[in-house]
């Protein structure tokens, strides 16, 4: 079975991107969210733009 990166419909807080990424990487979604917040602060918000783009581009998963 081929792995596909999708947004999570069941594990979402805002748009489901971190939940989908966590499922794709087989990691805990809270860990992915913490890393995303830290990187967003360190990069001056450019990760927020990438998150929003991914939220609109990625298909809805399960």
Per-residue pLDDT of 5-59, as tens digits, reads: 999 999 889 999 999 999 999 999 999 999 999 999 998 888 999 999 999 999 9
Alpha helices by DSSP H, 1-62:
17-25, 29-42, 46-57
With bands split at pLDDT 50, 70 and 90, how would you rate the model's confidence at 2? confident
Give how far Cα 31 sits from Cα of 2, 27, 50, 56, Å: 24, 7, 18, 22
CB 57 within 8 A of CB 6: no
pTM of the predicted protein model: 0.84
Structure confidence at residue 3 (pLDDT):
87
| Nearest in space to 10 (alpha carbons), one of 2, 1, 23 | 23
Structure confidence at residue 29 (pLDDT):
93
Structure confidence at residue 62 (pLDDT):
77
């Amino acid at each position: 079975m081929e792995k596909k990166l999708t947004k999570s419909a069941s594990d979402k807080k805002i748009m489901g991107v971190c939940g989908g990424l966590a499922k794709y990487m087989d990691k805990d979604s809270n860990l992915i969210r913490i890393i995303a917040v830290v990187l967003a602060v360190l990069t001056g918000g450019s990760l927020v733009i990438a998150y929003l783009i991914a939220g609109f581009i990625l298909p809805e998963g399960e």
